Amino acid sequence: MSTEATLLERCESKCELCAAEASLTPYVVAPHTLVTVDHSAMLCDTCKSQIEDPETADANHWRCLNDSMWSQVPPVQVLAWRQLKRLSAAEGWAHDLLDMMYMEEEIANWAAIGMDDDAEKPRDVNGVELKKGDDVTIIKDLPIKGSSQVIKQGTVVRGISLADDPKLISGKANGQSMYIIAEYCRKK
């Protein structure tokens, strides 16, 4: 049996992300380059084009991930996680689904490898990209370097700025300007 026939049998001739039945083609999940059963998913033209060109993505189309994110097929899990990750900054429902999603460590690593283009942006504890002007909440007590003071958990830092180092943000907490490690914050 050919790889494509095996994939069609696995997906019951439906897109593995949105369940559409028209014009399915195998899609190789990066960083892999060969169409194999273990590294590919069968996708409709709509899903494939929106994955390849995220600027054209229709967020409502991706509500289908509410079902497909629970797939037991690793390439489908990876694609669902990546799409939810892309949408989570702008769509609350995507962020909620991402929080619920579970993947084995090996599959999670595979999913993250494909998101390396976003690695140089400051991200909060949940992986949400932080932008200039955002408000964040400190998630744990942080000692202030060079003093005996502490920024308490739950402190809100309003109107942050981005630093040259993508791991840091700057803002005012307790009346003092300071740099804060982005992963110790949660976007409001």
Task: Quickly state the pLDDT bin for 4 (edges 50, 70, 90).
Answer: very high
pLDDT over 90 (residue 10): yes
The pLDDT tens digits for 133-187 are 999 999 999 998 888 888 999 999 999 998 878 889 999 988 888 899 998 999 9
Would you call 155 helix, strand, or coil by DSSP?
A: coil
- Set out the domains of the chain in order of their start, with CATH numbers: 3-114 (no CATH), 136-187 (2.30.30.40)
Largest distance between two CA atoms of the chain? 69
Q: Give the per-residue pLDDT at 118.
A: 46
Q: What is the pTM of this model?
A: 0.61
> What is the torsional sign of CA 116, 119, 121, 127?
positive
Place of tokens 């494909």: 114
Would you call 185 helix, strand, or coil by DSSP?
A: strand
Q: Give the per-residue pLDDT at 116.
A: 53
The pLDDT tens digits for 46-100 are 999 999 888 888 999 999 999 999 999 999 999 999 999 999 988 999 999 999 9
8 or 121, which is more confident? 8
Q: Give the per-residue pLDDT at 125.
A: 86
Q: Give the per-residue pLDDT at 153.
A: 94
- Given a contact cutoff of 8 angstroms between Cβ atoms, the answer to whether 128 and 135 are in contact is no
Give the contacts of 3 (CB within 8 A, at least 6 positions apart).
26, 35, 36, 37, 40
Q: Give the per-residue pLDDT at 76.
A: 97
pLDDT over 80 (residue 30): yes
Average pLDDT over residues 101-126: 80
SS3 of 18-82: the string is CCCCCCCEEEECCCCCCCCCCCEEEECHHHHHHHHCHHHCCCCHHHHHHHHCCCCCHHHHHHHHH
